[in-house]
Amino acid sequence: MAPAMPVFAGKPAPTEPASNEDFLMILQRIFALALLAVCAALAVMAWPYQAAFSYEPVGPRAYPLLMLGLMSLGLLYLAIRPTPIVRKDDEPELDRETLIKIAACVGLLIIFAGTFEALGFILSAILVGVPMARLYGGRWLHSSLVVVGMSLLLYWLFDRVMDVPLPLGLLSVLEN
Amino acid sequence: MDTLSYLGQGFGVALSPYNLVTALSGTLIGTVVGLLPGLGPINGVALLIPIAFALGLPPESALILLAAVYLGCEYGGRISSILLNIPGEASTVMTTLDGYPMARQGLAGVALSLSAWSSFIGAFIATCGMVLFAPLLAKWAIAFGPAEYFVLMVFAIVALGGMAGDKPLKTFIAALIGLFLSAVGIDANSGVYRFTGDSVHLADGIQFVVLVLGLFSVSEILLLLEKTHHGHEAVKATGRMLFNFKEAASVFVVNVRCGLLGFIMGVLPGAGATLASAVAYMTEKRIAGETGKFGKGDARGLAAPETAIGASCCGALVPMLTLGVPGSGTTAVMIGALTLYNITPGPLLFEQQPDIVWGLIASLFIANIMLVILNIPMIRIFTRILAVPNWALVPVIAIITAIGVYAVHATTFDLFLMVGIGIMGYILRKLDFPLSPILLGFILGGLMEQNLRRALSISNGELGILWSSPISMGVWVLVFCMLTLPLLRIWRKRSLQRRAMADA
């Protein structure tokens, strides 16, 4: 029981990490229960799956239900007895700042998906890439240079050289 | 003798100029991808699938490209381990233990070339093993019926949890998520739409590339946000670049031993390079005993994990080619690629498409030689790539990932799905779930369901067919062993703890 030792040694116990670990345990329980609810919903969804004509004894319903059932058993056990999470040394704690950053990054990715066809590949890549580079600590000028250059290069490389069609979107006026 | 003539034919395929260029570009791309933080062999291979398809590569060239990328990634992972003390991926953790101290002692070049050499020997041993055993296994596997296949796949899934060790429950749950996800889409036997929510885009199921890139690339992008990476200072690779004969001879026995070990571990489903390198390092450390300077820059400590990684990578291709059952995340991706070409790996592949199988085996030899030759003069360029800061790297990864996903179907729905899967992957990672079982489950799921249904159709619904033949009985016994393995391990750990408590 090495982690508990400092407490007995009379040193002030590092409360932050301990509470973070508890938090992760609770999070794990919540996650297991949420996934369990999803499993149940999917099982309800799968219930009416019946083949109109069947030539085989096992229909389309059995396999998904079997998987969902086994998964539920595992999740139930996990919800009751969550396993401790071993954190790697280089992994910092999740604080508010990182969570905001992650939310921003997810938002950028969603914007990318949304504008990919409408704006076209080059413009949407620039629109999303520059703020993303900023998010990872790049300076405005450097980020813009790298991202603009890379999106043009990648467009040329994939669309022209490698025959992967990419949408031009707004820029299609320039092409004729 | 048959095998040798087939192998000759394979070299004929692999040595054609077109395939040589393919293998060369594959190894180069792979090395760079393996070098970059946050990109491993799984992403590397997955990103190239749509590209290989778009380029219109014939199936054997596509497979050669993917295999070369796979080997290249494993090679690239070592460079950051040795020079930065940061393992590029999980399997190279053991390489840092002795590789980095060697680099600190001014032997960076020697360490790099020696590890390349070790990995080459490992891959060479494994490829020889593959040439010997794969046709035998394939011949034997032809006798497998659907029931045997089903049981074999159950074994592959269970072995994942049994071998992976420290978190069997989470591994099982992850594998089950993958097994379930494979059921999404139209059911081929009955035409029933399953879990599509009336969306046209999900009718033919979740696209494999979307799942892989979402799970691995997007979640990695989010993980990189947490790590503050201030352009690590790499140890300069100066001085002597090549190991000398004495150094090579001193690790040769280690090479052979770990090569055999790595091959066996690679063939077993679920074990893979990570476990192989760890076991190899520990074994060699024990064999060396007091005389070794393990952990302080012992050449043997560097050679052992590298040989094992090289061998297990090639070994992992054996179950994939002969049985159609992938043993690792990366081989699962390669099976996904083959199904895009409408090729089902399995015992019949050896008879029907010998060009593909033997061309691949021969190109493994060639790619390994290329990597050794490339590694020595290119080290300086590779080390410069290590200095690329995250802010420049991550947007480019994100953009390329989006291209890869878009290239499959040209719909933005897939992009949204990728982001969704990526968030899920990030949460799972934070909660310490392993991700590659999801991938394996996804690949095996479709096959598993088909074989189960086929077997039960044969027996008219009688469940007894699943354990009627001696082969399936044998595999069930193995399944049972694998299931008890983690329980046994937990029990032993508990009793050890109790003894420690009693002593204290």
Domain count, chain B: 1
A158 with A107, same domain: the answer is: yes
Please tell me which residue of chain B has the smallest CA distance to A113. B415
pLDDT higher than 70, residue A115: yes
Residue A110 is predicted with a pLDDT of 92
A175 assigned to some structural domain: no
> Is residue A20 less than 8 Å (CB to CB) from chain B?
no
Phi, psi of B280 (to 5 degrees): -60, -45
- Check whether A92 has a pLDDT greater than 70: no
Question: pLDDT by residue (tens digit) across B178-221?
Answer: 999 988 888 877 778 888 877 878 888 888 888 888 888 888 88
Three-class SS of B193-236: EECCCCCHHHCCCCCHHHHHHHHHHHHHHHHHHHCCCCCCCCCC
Cα Dmax for chain B? 72
**pLDDT tens digits, residue range A12-43?**
444 444 556 677 788 888 888 999 999 999 88
Nearest to A147 among B222, B395, B403 (CB): B395
- How far apart CA B50 and CA A154 sit, in angstroms, is 15
| Pair of tokens at residue A50 | 């019946």
Q: Please check whether residues A107 and A55 belong to one and the same domain.
A: no
Give A-chain residues touching B457 at CB under 8 angstroms.
Answer: 55-58
Best CA proximity match to B13, nearest among B68, B62, B60: B60
A109, A157: one domain: yes
Domain count, chain A: 2
Q: Which of B87, B412, B420 is nearest to B277 (CA)?
A: B87
Residue A10 resides in a domain: no
Mean pLDDT of successive 10-residue stretches along chain B, which has 504 residues: 77 85 89 78 82 80 86 82 76 82 82 84 87 82 84 84 73 90 84 80 84 87 72 63 76 88 83 80 82 78 88 86 80 82 79 81 83 78 78 86 85 90 90 85 86 86 82 87 80 81 71
Tokens of A5: 């030792």
For B158, half-sphere exposure in the C-beta direction (CA atoms, 13 angstrom radius) is 20
User: DSSP label at B239?
Assistant: S
Report whether B219 contacts B425 (CB < 8 A): yes
Task: Enumerate the residues of chain A whose CB falls inside 8 A of the CB of residue B54.
Answer: 162-164
Q: Identify how many contiguous H helices and E strands chain B contains and give both numbers.
A: 22, 2
Q: Using an 8 Å CB-CB cutoff, list chain B residues near A24.
A: 431
Residues A70 and A100 in one domain: no
Q: Bridge partners of B186? A: B193
A92/B226 touch (CB, cutoff 8 Å), yes or no: yes
Same domain, A147 and A109: yes
- Tell me, yes or no, whether A110 and A153 share the same domain: yes
Q: Is residue A85 part of a domain?
A: no
The residue among A71, A72, A75, A141 with the most chain B CBs within 10 A of its CB, best to mutate, is: A71
A66, A132, A135, A159, best to mutate vs chain B, most B CBs in 10 Å: A132
Using an 8 Å CB-CB cutoff, list chain B residues near A55: 457
- Of B56, B89, B92, B68, the closest CA to residue B304 belongs to B92
Q: What are B314-323's pLDDT values in tens digits?
A: 888 888 888 8
Predicted local confidence at residue A109, as pLDDT: 92
A55 touches B: beta carbon within 8 Å: yes
- Mean pLDDT for all residues in chain A: 79
Q: Which of B294, B311, B301 is nearest to B254 (CA)?
A: B301
**Helix (H), strand (E) counts: chain A:** 6, 0
Percent of chain A with pLDDT over 70: 80
- Alpha-carbon distance of B445 to B176, in angstroms, equals 9
Phi then psi for residue A37, to 5 deg, are: -65, -40
Smallest CA-to-CA distance from A108 within B395, B291, B406 is with B395
pLDDT of residue B423: 92
Phi/psi for B232 (5° steps) reads: -55, 145
Q: What is the pLDDT of residue A88?
A: 58
Q: Is B184 helix (H, G, I), strand (E, B) or coil?
A: coil
Q: CA-CA distance, B236 to B319, in Å (whole number)?
A: 40
Please name the residues between 74 and 113 in chain A that touch chain B, using a CB distance below 8 Å: 74-75, 77-78, 83, 85-86, 90-92, 94, 98, 101-102, 105-106, 109-110, 112-113
Task: Return the pLDDT at A2.
Answer: 40
Residues A73 and A133 in one domain: no
The reply to whether residue A164 touches residue B461, judged by beta carbons under 8 angstroms, is no
Q: What is the pLDDT of residue A9?
A: 40
d(CA B367, CA B72): 8
Distance from CA of A166 to the nearest CA of B (A): 8
What's the pLDDT tens digit per position in B4-49?
Answer: 788 888 888 888 888 888 889 888 888 888 887 667 788 888 888 8
Minimal-distance CA residue of chain B relative to A65 = B180
Let me know if residue A73 belongs to a domain: yes
Q: What's the confidence (pLDDT) of residue B177? A: 92
Domain holding A36, by residue range, is 16-80
Distance between CA atoms of residues A107 and A131, nearest Å: 11
**Last residue of some domain: A80, A109, A124?**
A80
Q: What is the pLDDT of residue A4?
A: 40
Residue of A nearest to B185 (CA): A60
Cβ neighbours around A175 below 10 Å, total: 6
Q: What angle is formed at CA B52 by the lines to CA B346 and CA B209, rounded to 5 degrees?
A: 70
CB atoms within 10 A of CB A48: 8
Classify the phi-psi angles of A166: left when phi > 0, otherwise alpha if psi is within -120 to 50, otherwise beta: beta
Identify any residues that bridge with B193 across adjacent strands, giving them in sequence order. B186
Q: Do A60 and B426 touch (CB under 8 A)?
A: no
Token pair in block for residue B243:
């190991």
Return the residue of A nearest to B190 by Cα.
A51
Same domain for A103 and A75: no
A101 and A74 share one domain: no
Distance CA B435, CA B437 (A): 6
A146 within domain boundaries: yes
The more confidently predicted of residues A7 and B469 is B469
Plot region of B85 (φ>0 → left; ψ -120 to 50 → alpha; else → beta): left
Same domain, yes or no: A103 and A164: yes
Question: ∠ CA B472-B478-B479 to the nearest 5 degrees?
Answer: 85
**CB spacing of A112 vs B389 below 8 angstroms:** no
Q: Which residue of B has its CA nearest to A98?
A: B226
Could you give the CA distance from residue A112 to residue A125 in angstroms, rounded to a whole number?
A: 7
How far is Cα B455 from Cα B494, in angstroms, rounded to an integer?
41
3-state DSSP of B87-151 = CCCHHHHHHHHHHHHHHHHHHHHHHHHHHHHHHHHHHHHHHHHHHHHHHHHHHHHCCCCHHHHHH
Furthest CA-CA distance within chain A = 77
Q: Determine the average pLDDT of the residues in A148-173.
A: 83
- Sort strands B185-186 and B193-194 into parallel, antiparallel or unpaired: antiparallel
Closest Cα in chain B to A29: B431
CA neighbor of B371 nearest in space, from B38, B84, B112 = B112
Burial of B460 (0-12, 13-18, 19+ CB in 10 A): exposed
Of B264, B276, B324, the C-alpha closest to B129 is: B264
Tell me what pLDDT residue B136 has. Answer: 83
A143 CB neighbours in chain B (<8 A) are 391-392, 395
A61 and A110: one domain? Answer: no
Angle, CA B258 vertex, CA B256 and CA B262 arms, to 5°: 120
Cβ-defined contacts of B497-501 (< 8 Å, 24+): B501/A1
DSSP A78-139: HHHSPPPPPPPTT-----HHHHHHHHHHHHHHHHHHHHTTTT-HHHHHHHHHHHHHHHTT--
Pair A72, A125 in one domain: no
Contact assignment for A162 to B51 by CB distance below 8 Å: yes
- At residue B5, φ and ψ (nearest 5 deg) are -70, -35
Per-residue pLDDT tens over the stretch A51-73: 766 677 777 888 888 899 999 99
Residue of A20, A56, A80, A117 to mutate, interface with B, max B Cβ within 10 Å: A56
d(CA B179, CA B224): 28
Other CB atoms within a 10 A radius of the CB of residue B445 amount to 25
* Domain residue limits at B148: 2-503
C-alpha distance from A168 to closest chain B C-alpha (Å): 13
For residues A94 and B228, the answer to whether their CB atoms sit within 8 Å is no
The pLDDT tens digits of the residues spanning B447-487 come to: 888 888 888 888 887 888 888 888 888 888 888 888 887 77
